[in-house]
Homo-oligomer: A and B are copies of this chain.
Amino acid sequence: MEGIPLKRIEKVADMAQAARRLASEGKSIGFVPTMGFLHEGHLALAAEARKENDVVIMSIFVNPAQFGPGEDFEGYPRDLERDAELAEKAGVDLLFHPSSEEMYPEDSDIRILPGRQAGVLCGASRPGHFDGVLKVLTKLFHLARPERAYFGQKDAQQLAIIETFVRDYNFPLEIRRVPTVREKDGLAKSSRNVRLTAQERRQAPSIYEALREGARVLRETGDAELALGTVGHSLGSIPGAETDYAEILEYPSLFPLSSESREAIIAAAVRFSGARLIDNILIPLKGKPGHVYQRSRRPSCPAR
């Protein structure tokens, strides 16, 4: 369907009908769920979906259910017309952008509760966030009926929880991980970057540098505590930044790292005056059986 103008759908019933028709025609659907204000990270997801599927559906929905009290739902940046242009150029066939009333016509009290995985990486500081993510994704997966859904590695905790959810609940689709897209200076692309002051924007690449330094220490020494100490020290040295968390865990289980672990994540969240930024690095560990990865010590999380 490449080259055909982007089709826009606002109604849940129309989305369901379109996906139903495509499914009955045997078309493979690649799905890219977003909250809009697209940047190259999102477009990389769309490009992957374009390569692997007959039809690419993107959703743009700023999901109120995943914003906590005092979080930035109203202030979350939105620009639907620009997004539609970018999506069309990226090869998206169908853009689903429902209203909150369309997505949540009833005040449903049936909830999906993620387990242990939502409580690490300071998930406790955003209570209910991943409940809201699983709620909206369940609805979107049922509406768009994808064969493959595309998520960025940047939201690594979200990705880990979704992979587990899709596996445990037998969703008939495959979750595809797409590497984090970065600015030239290393800063992970994010809709929230526009909220940084000019000075904060210059400091922000230090987050990725700190993670890379930690990854180097972990690879060289196999000592997760030492690596985490390095990351914490580097993050603590960024002017105007407050470390929300820094952690080294097994991926995607998000259990503490052990000598059996095959992949590790070093993840951090850092708070500037205008935005909270997250970043992470995944590190394959297999082939290094001599290394003993110690349990990471959990740094204190600032109360919110």
List chain A positions with a Cβ less than 8 A from chain B: 12, 16, 19-20, 23-26, 106, 108-116, 134-135, 138-139, 142-143, 145, 161, 164-165, 167-172
**Top 8 A-B residue pairs of the complex, sorted by shortest distance between their CB atoms:** A109-B115, A108-B168, A24-B26, A142-B170, A139-B170, A111-B113, A143-B170, A138-B169
With a cutoff of 8 Å between Cβ atoms, the chain B residues found around residue A12 in the complex are 170
Out of B20, B112, B167, name the residue touching A106 (CB < 8 Å): B167
A97 to chain B, nearest CB (A): 16
Contact A110 B172 (CB under 8 A): no
CB A24 to nearest CB in B, in angstroms, measures: 4
Chain B residues near A23 (CB, 8 Å)? 23-24
Contact assessment for B165 and A110 in the assembled complex, using a CB-CB cutoff below 8 Å: yes
Whether B16 contacts A172 by the Cβ 8 Å rule is yes
Q: Write the nearest CB–CB distance from A105 to chain B, whole angstroms.
A: 9
Q: Tell me, in angstroms, the Cα distance from A12 to B168 when the chains sit together.
A: 12
Whether A112 contacts B109 in the complex (CB less than 8 A), given A142-B171, A169-B138, comes out as no
A239 and B276 alpha carbons, distance in the complex (Å): 67
Contacts of A26 in B (CB 8 A): 24-26
Distance A110 CA – B163 CA, assembled complex (angstroms): 12
Contact A108 to B113, CB < 8 A, known contacts A145-B172, A170-B143: no
Q: Is the Cβ of B111 less than 8 Å from the Cβ of A164? A: no
B112, A108: Cβ atoms closer than 8 Å: no
Contact A16 B134 (CB under 8 A): no
Contacts of A112 in B (CB 8 A): 110-113
Q: How far is the CA of A139 from the CA of B134 in the complex (A)?
A: 15
Complex Cα distance, B112 from A135, in Å, reads 10
**A25 CB contacts on chain B under 8 angstroms:** 26
- The answer, among B16, B110, B113, B134, for a CB contact under 8 Å with A170, is B16
Smallest CB gap from A135: residue in B = B169
Q: Which residues of B contact A164 (CB under 8 A)?
A: 108, 110
A173 to B161, CA, bound (A): 26
Measured CB to CB, the nearest residue on chain B to A109 is B115
Set of chain B residues within 8 Å of A165, measured between Cβ atoms: 110
Contacts A110-B114, A138-B169 known; list 8 others, CB within 8 Å: A20-B172, A106-B167, A106-B168, A109-B115, A110-B168, A111-B113, A138-B170, A142-B171
- Residues in chain B near residue A20, CB distance under 8 A: 172
